[in-house]
A = this chain, B = another copy of it.
Amino acid sequence: MNTAMNTAQAGFRPTELFAERMSIIPTSFIREILKVTVRPEIISFAGGLPNPQFFPVDAIKAASEKVLSSDGRTVLQYSTTEGYLPLREWIAAWYKERQGLAISPDEILITNGSQQGIDLLGKVFLDKGSEVVIEKPGYLGAIQSLTAYQPAFIGVTLNDDGVDTEQLASVYETRRPKMFCAIPNFQNPSGLSYAADVRERVADVVERHNTFVVEDDPYGALRFKGQAQPSLKHYLGDQAVLFGSFSKIVAPGLRLGWIVAAKPIMEKLVIAKQASDLHSNYFAQRTMHQYLVDNNVDDHIAKICAAYGKQCDVMLNAIDTYFPHEVKTTRPEGGMFLWVTLPEGCSSMDLFDKAIKQNVAFVPGTPFYVDGSGTNTMRLNFTNTDEERLVEGIQRLGVAIEEMLGVPA
């Protein structure tokens, strides 16, 4: 060791070496906000966390013990890129049972949460400049992941009953998008869902072109009100790539989601997954499968739905009480978020500063819009705050809004 460690190379300028894509991937805005909201006095509606009260800790513990005791040396070894077959079979059976969808386990790839599914899809399909349609507002995680592949995003307005299908049709008449990213159930960030007739019209548009829908459905099982609608996959078959996740129905810390895709796409996804990280955590896959086999996950989901429905009601009632009437709110039938629209001309970024002074936080809407609009919108999460603090937080937010609107508090 005759050379001292060189700690400050004058000649090393890594910033000059970064790929072009790194100059355009946005830092997660939510991540920055979450740094502010760790202060305990702040009531935060900014995160997107499920309520940990419903994590089946003891059952996961029993499942992990069981797989390690019975098959430890295999559970801790390298495994297949596609994922544990019995877990994929369980997912296929679940679709059959809950949605009547006939999906083969060979059409399922296990991923690190559905977030990785988006990244893999970008890797498989997107060249620089490839066109991608996304809802306005759209899922921020998809915008971030896909931006790494330098596509051209085309935003299509999300109405109260789902994506604007006239706009969608007109986009497909003039452009050649490879994919349309949609969250038809309890969308993140808006909490909105597609009505049945909107789903049919989306399918009509898509099947007339050589394109597909990325149907991201992490929240679909979290319905606490109203009637489930058929998935876009039901109408579109192979022209839908469907994403699912255990993060919201079991627990996110295990980082397990999946992609459902037709065989020619799946072949490429498997190659992309292998190039990305060989395979998903096998211990977690085996533990999750054991948990699903030994427990009634539908009963578990029913409990989560009941609780989230109540939390959503509490937030909406508080909004009715404490927000000025000119502020509009979505009324979700499931999921984890609702969406607030301030009067035209108001800025939710300005409101954010005032809200932090009142010790309450949320996510301003603009980062969810690929065209930089949505200035007067914001996202509220209702699943990770107890009822008392839900009411208190909305009351504080009401004070901030009234201050901004010039109404004396």
Contact = CB atoms under 8 A, between A and B. Distances in A.
A259 to B, nearest CB: 13
A78 B31 CA distance: 12
Interface string A70-101: 00111111110100000000000000000011
Contacts of A281: 112, 253-255, 281, 284
A329 to B, nearest CB: 25
Given A53-B73, A126-B19, A144 B275 contact: yes
Given A68-B64, A148-B275, A77 B254 contact: no
Given A77-B52, A149-B19, A251-B77, A207 B239 contact: no
Given A144-B275, A274-B31, A11 B73 contact: no
Contacts of A170: none
Contacts of A237: 5-9
A172 interface: no
Contact of A271 (B8, B27, B209, B284): B27
A74 B253 CA distance: 8
Interface residues of A, number: 109
B18 A125 contact: yes
A21 B119 CA distance: 14
A235 interface: yes
A52 B68 contact: no
A207 B11 contact: yes
Q: Which 3 A-B pairs have the closest CB atoms?
A: A57-B72, A76-B251, A52-B73
27 contacts: A1-B234, A5-B101, A5-B236, A5-B237, A6-B236, A9-B207, A17-B179, A17-B212, A18-B124, A18-B268, A22-B124, A22-B268, A22-B271, A49-B78, A53-B73, A55-B76, A55-B77, A64-B64, A75-B253, A78-B252, A112-B278, A115-B278, A145-B276, A253-B283, A255-B277, A255-B280, A281-B284
